[in-house]
Chains A and B, each alone.
Chain A
Amino acid sequence: MRGITPYRQNYWDWRAAGNFMYGGTGSGLIISSLLALAYDEPTLLHIVIGLVFMATGLGLVWLEIGRPFRALNVFLHPQRSWMTREGFVATVAFGVGAAAIWFGHPLLIAGTAALALLFLYCQARILRASKGIPAWREPTLAPLIVATGLTEGVAASLALVSAAFTMTMVALVVLLTLRAWSWRRYRLASETAVPTAAARVLAAFSVPFLLLGHALPLALLIADMALGNRYPALTYFAAVLAFGSGWAFKFMVVRYAAQTQGFAIIHRPARGPRGSGGGGVKPGWGS
């Protein structure tokens, strides 16, 4: 029910969250193909699975829109809308990706990876442009969304590489560190930039996210590296944690921290001939 205080938006549900989850992982996986390419390993599965993930995410969005048979109208506003840009980038990525799958030329693979990065950036900017949801418009969320997509992609790619395994592990360590730092930045910035209810959601998520999504996988990865990769199960478990926590984070942001702006007046009105005005009120926000 709409009231004065910020409330959890219901316009974008799990299907929209799914676009960020599948889209982030898919684009991250395609970008991670560059590591396999550097070691002369096959990249076919990276690109195929990555594109399928991206398509799944976009398919979920298609299921959410009110007029699905007008979906092509999404391409009408590239001048300003990041959703249009996401659609264009995805379309080109599917084309270049198909060519990369067919011909396997390194330049096409690199081109697909570049487009995947652009797609991920578009997703981050989609949230940034949502001025009605303070937890999304906070500028520090965009780099966190990019870092999360890359982390998930690299974590997923561990199942697809052999010669590049160690380098992919190192990349995952770096990305997990980067994601933890981005999360910390976002949390600090959000403390005063989001409504109280959203701040509570972010605070409750923070410790489990840092421990299970970062500290534990980092410890497992470093342990496996120190033991000379003799226990790859440790690394795979770390990858599952890195991947799962990324999805949990995006679902939490899109569904649970998505409190609206709410209403505020900066002055209360003067009442009566001798009445005087005064300070205002911003319900649902911390003092």
Chain B
Amino acid sequence: MSDLTAATLEYATRLGDDALVLGHRISEWCSNGPFLEEDLALSNVALDYIGRARMYYTYAAELAGGGKTEDDFAYTRDAREFRNLLIHELPRGDFAYTMVRQLLVDVFNLLYLEALTQSADANLAAIAHKAIKETRYHLRRSKEWVLRLGDGTAESHKRTQRAVDALWGYTHELFEIDALEQSLAEVGIGVNNTGLRPAWLAQVSAILSEATLTVPKDDWAVRGGRVGYHTENLGHLLTELQFLHRAYPGLKW
């Protein structure tokens, strides 16, 4: 396998990990939503993410060869091998927390996928073209909810601000790049995410201000997802996600 193929395989796996872990988190709302329509909406968003993970993993499996499938990536790797950014694995929290995370991630994804549609890798570009259309719908909804909750009752405002404050330190990692991603960005395959922060911050700040929320100071940051250092939460999530496959390897539905 050439270095470029190996790097692309790792990159597709990372993006698949981001999508799978967040998709699983959102799916935890299924049957726990605050009301029926919201339960359906969250389940649908979760499905979009899991579908996205399948596309990235299927491509990674194709690059890996040797008969690997998407399931090998989702079900047989341990927490230390997952490369998702940490913001995706944090527990779902209350509804305000879930919607604030969606807003922060949706604005980021829109910018990121826009850039990825230009990828020199036809498969990654095709996945981005597909995913970005769904992300536009996700963002419309998360934005509406953050406005409604932030500018809602004293209680909803308090919880939404608490979520913004708790999540803010995890957003810095979204804009960090390592040598592998740098090398792919240089050949036009990967996205140089370091340049996306000004646009992200401008959009997020405008929405938070309109929602009467305060944009936190940048005085703390947590990182490590891309090298496999995770919070304790990922292991718990994988325990549930991988249980069936670990207990009955190769089981078919």
Tell whether A and B belong to one assembly: no
Which A residues form the contact surface with B (CB < 8 A)? Answer: none
